[in-house]
C-alpha cells in the first residue's frame, strides 16, 4: 500500500511516501532560518511558509519515491496538536488532493505519529512498551498496549524538555533551536561545575523543567554575568550541567515507569531524543535487561513518514476520515 504523509504542525513543511513500512521518500523543509532571529517560532510566518512550500515539498516527495499521485492509496495528514494556522495549511491541502484525486484521507495525531516512528525502523518493539515523547511541545510518558491504545503515565507540568533547552539557549545568547547547540557545547563543558536543582517531583511520573530557567538567572546574577551574553567557558560548562540534569531526570522517570508498569521495553522519540547524552544514557539501560528503541535522529524530529505510518495502521483497523476533518491545536492522545 502506498501512503502519502503530510505534516505541517509546527515549523517544518514535510511530505513523505511510504510503501507499507518502507520509506520511499521523507522530505522535511526546515523554516528555521526565518524564525531563528526571533528566538522562537512566529506562528504567522510558519503558516505563510507552509502555504508557499507545501505543493513543492509534496511534488518532491512523490518524485523521489518515483510515484504519481494517482498511484497513492491513502493520504495521511496530521490534524493536531500543533499551531492552528500551520495545521490548517497541511490539512486543507491534504483534503483538496484527497477530493480531486478521489483518495481516502485519514487524520493523525502528531503524538501518535512520534510514537509510531519506531515502526519505520528495522528494529521495532512488540507490545506492550513504555514510550517517552520528548520534544519542543511535549514531555510525556505513555504505556502503549497496542496501536491506538495509550495510557498517559506522566507529563510535564510546565515547560517541555525541548522548550527548556530552547529557552535556556536564548539566555545563553545561542540561536534557535537551542537543543542541538547546547548538546554540542555540553561535549566540551564540565557537568559538575555548577550545582543545579534536580526536579524529580518524587512520587510522581510528571516532569517540571521551568525551574531550570530560574536557576540560570540566579546563577548569572551571582556571577555578575549579563544574560544573553555569557563568556564561552560559561556557555560550555552551563550547557553540560543543564544537559546532565535534564537527562538524569528523563532516565530516572523511565526507570520508575518501567518498574511501576512491569515493562521491559522503552521507545524514546521526539526532537530531544536526538540528544547525544540521552541516547548514550538510554542505551546503558540495556545492561539492566531493558530493550531500548531509539529511532534514527531524522525519525525522532518532526517528519511526515511518521504521519504516514500512523495513518497506515489506523487505516488497517478500518478507520477513515472525511472532508469534515478539522485541525485541533489541542488534541490529546
Ligand atoms: O519533535 P520536534 O522536531 O518538534 C516538536 O514537535 O516540538 O522537536 C523539536 C525540539 C526543539 O526544542 C529542539 O531544541 C529539540 O527538539 N532538539 C534537541 C536536540 N535536537 C533537537 N534537544 C536536545 N538535544 C538535541 N540534540
Ligand atoms: Zn513533534
273 Cα: distance to centroid of ligand 2 (angstroms)? 11
Section 21-29 average pLDDT: 97
Ligand nearest to the CA of 274: 1
The reply to whether ligand 1 has any atom less than 6 angstroms from the CB of 274 is yes
Calculate mean pLDDT across residues 243-265: 98
Reported pTM: 0.94
Assign 39 a pLDDT band (cuts: 50, 70, 90): confident
Q: Is the pLDDT of residue 70 over 90?
A: yes
Give the residue-averaged pLDDT of 58-87: 98
The predicted pLDDT at position 213 comes to 86
271 in ligand 1 pocket by Cβ < 6 Å?
A: yes
* Residue 45 confidence (pLDDT): 96
Q: How far is the CA of 63 from the centre of ligand 2 (A)?
A: 25
Residues 238, 239, 240, 244, Cα dihedral to 10°: 100
| Most confident option among 85-94, 164-173, 204-213 | 85-94
Q: At 66, phi and psi to the nearest 5? A: 60, 45
The CB of 179 under 6 Å from ligand 1? The reply is yes
Pocket test for ligand 1, best of 29, 132, 135, 294 (most atoms within 8 A of CB): 135
Distance 111 CA to ligand 1 centre (A): 14
User: Any idea which of 74-83, 211-220, 294-303 has the lowest mean pLDDT?
Assistant: 211-220
178 lines ligand 1 (CB under 6 A): yes
Band of residue 37 on the pLDDT scale cut at 50, 70, 90: confident
Does residue 189's CB lie within 6 angstroms of at least one atom of ligand 1? no
Q: Quote the pLDDT of residue 36.
A: 85
Q: Report the pLDDT averaged over residues 274-285.
A: 97
Mean pLDDT value across residues 46-58: 98
Confidence category of residue 280, pLDDT binned at 50, 70, 90: very high
Q: What is the pLDDT of residue 169?
A: 94
CA–centroid distance, 301 to ligand 1, in Å, is 6
Whether 165 is in the pocket of ligand 1, judged by its Cβ within 6 Å, is yes
What does the pLDDT read at residue 190?
97
Task: Check pLDDT > 90 for residue 216.
Answer: no
At 255, the pLDDT band (50, 70, 90 cuts) reads very high
Q: Residue 5: pLDDT above 90?
A: yes
With beta carbons less than 8 A apart as the criterion, state whether 96 and 77 touch. Answer: no
Q: In which band, very low, low, confident or very high, does the pLDDT at 103 lie, cut at 50, 70 and 90?
A: very high
The pLDDT of residue 38: 87
Calculate how far, in angstroms, residue 273's C-alpha sits from the geometric centre of ligand 1. 8
Q: What is the 3-state secondary structure (H, E, C) of 95-159?
A: HHHHHHHCCCEEEEEHHHHHHHHHHHCCCCCCCCEEEEEECCCCEEEEEEEECCEEEEEEEECCC
The residue nearest atom 1 of ligand 1, judged by CA position, is 271
Q: Can you spell out the DSSP letters for 227-261?
A: TT---HHHHHHHHHHHHHHHHHHHHHHHHHHHHHH
**Average pLDDT score, the chain:** 96
Q: Which of 136, 246, 329 to mutate to test the pocket of ligand 1 (most atoms within 8 A of CB)?
A: 136
Residue 80 Cβ contacting ligand 1 at under 6 Å:
no
Could you tell me if the CB of 243 is within 6 A of ligand 1?
no
Amino acid at each position: 500500500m502506498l501512503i502519502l504523509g503530510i505534516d505541517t504542525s509546527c515549523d517544518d513543511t514535510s511530505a513523505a511516501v511510504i510503501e507499507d513500512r518502507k520509506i520511499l521518500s521523507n522530505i522535511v523543509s526546515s523554516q528555521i532560518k526565518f524564525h531563528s532571529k526571533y528566538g522562537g517560532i512566529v506562528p504567522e510566518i510558519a503558516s505563510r511558509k507552509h502555504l508557499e512550500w507545501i505543493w513543492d515539498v509534496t511534488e518532491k516527495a512523490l518524485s523521489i519515491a518515483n510515484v504519481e499521485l494517482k498511484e497513492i492509496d491513502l493520504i495521511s495528514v496530521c490534524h493536531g496538536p500543533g499551531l492552528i494556522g500551520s495545521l490548517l495549511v497541511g490539512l486543507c491541502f491534504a483534503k483538496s488532493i484527497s477530493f480531486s484525486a478521489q483518495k481516502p484521507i485519514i487524520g493523525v495525531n502528531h503524538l501518535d505519529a512520534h510514537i509510531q516512528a519506531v515502526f519505520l525502523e528495522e528494529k521495532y518493539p512488540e507490545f506492550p512498551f513504555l514510550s517517552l515523547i520528548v520534544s519542543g511541545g511535549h514531555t510525556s510518558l505513555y504505556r502503549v498496549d497496542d496501536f491506538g491504545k495509550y495510557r498517559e503515565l506522566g507529563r510535564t507540568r510546565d515547560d517541555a524538555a525541548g522548550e527548556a533547552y530552547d529557552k535556556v539557549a536564548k539566555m545563553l545568547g545561542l540561536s534557535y533551536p537551542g537543543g542541538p547547540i547546547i548538546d554540542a557545547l555540553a561535549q566540551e563543558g564540565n557537568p559538575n561545575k555548577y550545582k543545579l536543582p534536580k526536579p524529580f517531583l518524587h512520587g510522581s511520573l510528571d516532569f517540571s523543567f521551568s525551574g531550570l530557567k530560574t536557576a540560570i538567572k540566579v546563577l548569572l546574577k551571582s556571577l555578575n554575568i549579563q544574560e544573553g551574553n555569557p563568556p564561552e567557558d560559561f556557555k560550555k560548562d552551563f550547557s553540560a550541567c543543564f544537559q546532565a540534569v535534564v537527562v538524569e531526570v528523563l532516565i530516572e522517570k523511565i526507570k520508575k515507569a518501567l518498574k511501576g508498569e512491569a515493562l521491559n521495553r522503552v521507545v524514546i522519540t521526539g526532537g530531544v531524543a536526538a540528544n547525544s547524552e540521552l541516547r548514550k544514557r538510554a542505551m546503558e539501560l540495556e545492561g539492566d535487561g531493558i530493550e531500548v528503541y531509539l529511532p534514527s535522529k531524522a525519525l525522532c524530529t518532526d517528519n511526515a513518514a511518521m504521519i504516514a505510518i500512523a495513518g497506515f495502521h489506523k487505516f488497517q483497523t478500518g478507520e477513515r476520515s472525511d472532508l469534515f476533518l478539522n485541525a485541533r491545536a489541542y488534541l490529546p492522545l
